[in-house]
Structure 1
Amino acid sequence: MGSEAEIVRKPRFLCLHGFRTSGAILKKQIETKWPQSVLEKIDLVYPDAPFPAEGKSDVEGIFDPPYYEWFQFNKEFTIYTNFDECLAYIEDIMIKQGPFDGLLGFSQVCSVWLPLPRIEGAILSAGLPGLQAKGVALTKVAKIKFLIIIGGAKFRSESVAEKAYSPPIQCPSIHFLGDTDFLKPHGLKLLESFVDPVVIHHPKGHTIPRFDDKGLETMLSFLERIQKMLTEKQENELHCKEGALEA
C-alpha cells in the first residue's frame, strides 16, 4: 500500500516569490485566484527567501511584512551579490523539505522603474534547470522536472545566462504572459530558451491571473501530462526495485 500511495503522489513544486515579498504573500496570491480544480492537482511549498529586505518593498501597503529577497544586485541586474548563498539556500530547502519535482516562480512588480530586479523568483525558477544541468547549482538534489513560470525573464549576467540557457531547457514548462504586462517582451524572449514551452496568454498585466476557460483547459492539460510522466517514472523505479529484490 505504501508503494502504491507513493506512485500516485501529486507533483510537488517549490514556489519562489518575487523581490522583497514573501512566501506567505505568494501563497495568498495563488490560492485566492487559482481554482481548486488546479490546486488539488499539485503540492505547493512557499519558503521565504534567505535575506531580509534591505530596502523598501513595492508591496508595502498592499501586503503585510516581513519581506525578503533572494540575492542582491546592481542597478543593471548584471552583477549579483550572495548569489551562491541563494543557490545553496534553495538546495538546502529542497533537501530538507523535498523531494520536489518542479519550481514555480512569480514576481510582484508595482514599480515601473528597474523592473527586472523585482522578478527574482521567476528568473531563478526559469534559470535553475540549466544551472543544475551544468553542475553549478542544485547538485545534491534530483533533477528539476517541471516549471511553472508567471511573468518570467532571463538573467542579465552574461556568465550566469551562458550556463542557464545554453543548450535550451528541455523540461516541460508552462508560462503565463499578460497582454498588458510591461514585462511581456522579457517573457517572450525567455520562451526562446525553452523546448516546446506551453503558454497561457491572459488579458491582465503583471499579476497572477485568474483562469478563463481556455487558460484553465491548458493548465489542466499540462498538469495531467506531468502527472502522467511522474507516475510512469515512479512505476519504473518501483519495478526496478522489485526486480533487484527478486534477483
Structure 2
Amino acid sequence: MIKGRTSSLAKRLKKIAEFVFVDAPHELSFIYQTTLAKGAICESSPMLSSPPPPLENCKNKFAWLVAPNSDGSTDVNWKVAEGPFDPLQYQQQTEGYDTSLSHLKNVFSQQGSFDGILGFSQGAAMAALISAQQEQLKGEMDFKFVIICSGFSLNVKEMERGIIKCPSLHIFGNEHGKDRQIANQASKELTSLYDDGCSVIIEHDCGHIIPTRSPYIDEIKGFLGRFL
C-alpha cells in the first residue's frame, strides 16, 4: 500500500532521495461487510449476506498495529464482519508494537543505513512511536528525521515521554481537506507532541494522499534539503 501511495512522491524526489519500502509484519484476515438487501428491515436478522469478493482479485494486507482482541491468526477465506465497520477503529489498534519494532530493527540491520523514516496513515502512527523513542533506539535504529503523513497519535506509554525532539515533517489534510480516513484534528493533536523548533507542517486539501504538486512538493524538498 505505501509503495502505491508514495510512487508519485518517490518519482518527484528521485534526484535527492531513495525510497526503501517495508511491509508491516502483521498479516490481516480477509473480512468483509455484508449489506442489507434493498428495502429489507429486520431487527432480529439485520444482514442478508452478500457474496464476498473473489479471493483471486484480493491482495494480502498487512498492519503495523492490531486490535487488542486480535489472535494473530489469518484465514485464507473471507469472514463476515461481526458488526458495522467503525471509522475510528484505527484508534483502538494499539497492540503489536513490539513485533513491528523488532521487524524494523531487522530492516535497519540488514538494509540500513537510513537517513529518515516515512509513514502514512497507520504507518505514520508507527513512525511517530519510533520517533518518540529516537534516543532509546540509538545504535539499533539511527535516523535523522521522520515524515508523518495523515498521522494520528495513540494513547500508549511510548508516546508519554514528553515533547518529541526528532526533526519532523507533518503532512495531512486541512479542516476541509476531504481526508475521510484520518480527521484533521487527530493529525493536529499528533503534531502538537513535537518540538515546534524542529517540526514543519504541511496542510493540504487533497484528501487521504501525499500531495506532490506545488507548493507542497517544494516544501517537502525544502525539509529534506536540511539533511542532504
Indicate whether the TM-score tops 0.5: yes
Q: Which amino acid aligns with 2:110?
A: K
Which of the numbers 171, 179, 182 marks the counterpart of 1:181?
179
Corresponding residue for 2:167?
A: 172
Alpha-carbon deviations, 1:196-225, whole Å to 9, x = none?
A: 3111221122222232x2212211111111
The 2-side partners of 1:140 and 1:98 are apart by: 12
Conserved in 1, the CA contact under 8 Å of 2:108 and 2:114?
Answer: yes
Corresponding residue for 1:28?
A: 4
Given the superposition, is the C-alpha separation of residues 71 and 34 from structure 1 closer, same or farther in structure 2, using an over 3 Å criterion?
closer
**Seq. identity, %:** 26
Corresponding residue for 1:71?
A: 65
The 1-side partners of 2:159 and 2:116 are apart by: 20
Conserved in 2, the CA contact under 8 Å of 1:57 and 1:67?
Answer: no
Q: Determine which structure has the larger helix proportion and give its number.
A: 1
Greater RCO (Cα-Cα under 8 Å, separation 6 or more): 1
Please tell me whether residue 94 in structure 1 is matched to residue 108 in structure 2.
Answer: yes
C-alpha deviation, 1:78, in angstroms? 5.2
Alpha-carbon deviations, 1:153-176, whole Å to 9, x = none?
A: 11122x23213xx1x222221111
The 1-side partners of 2:158 and 2:32 are apart by: 26
CA RMSD of aligned residues (A): 2.6
The 2-side partners of 1:214 and 1:145 are apart by: 24
C-alpha deviation, 1:140, in angstroms? 4.3
Conserved in 2, the CA contact under 8 Å of 1:146 and 1:173?
Answer: yes
Q: Name structure 1 gaps, 5 residues minimum.
A: 1-24, 108-118, 228-247
Q: Which amino acid aligns with 1:51?
A: H
Corresponding residue for 2:119?
A: 105
- 3-state SS in 1 of match to 2:226: helix
Corresponding residue for 1:219?
A: 220
Conserved in 2, the CA contact under 8 Å of 1:91 and 1:140?
Answer: no
Q: Normalising to structure 2: TM-score of the pair?
A: 0.69
Which structure has the larger Rg? 2
Q: Which amino acid aligns with 2:104?
A: I
Alpha-carbon deviations, 1:121-153, whole Å to 9, x = none?
A: 1101012122242x3xx4542433111111011
Conserved in 1, the CA contact under 8 Å of 2:171 and 2:201?
Answer: yes
Conserved in 2, the CA contact under 8 Å of 1:129 and 1:143?
Answer: no
Alpha-carbon deviations, 1:55-87, whole Å to 9, x = none?
A: 4389x89x9512112232246845743321221
Given the superposition, is the C-alpha separation of residues 85 and 66 from structure 1 closer, same or farther in structure 2, using an over 3 Å criterion?
same
- 3-state SS in 2 of match to 1:44: coil
Corresponding residue for 1:191?
A: 191
Q: How many residues align?
A: 180
- Which range moved further: 192-201 or 121-130? 192-201
Q: Which amino acid aligns with 1:217?
A: D
The 2-side partners of 1:226 and 1:145 are apart by: 8
Q: Name structure 2 gaps, 5 residues minimum.
A: 34-52, 69-88
Q: Which amino acid aligns with 2:66?
A: Q
Please tell me whether residue 39 in structure 1 is matched to residue 53 in structure 2.
Answer: no
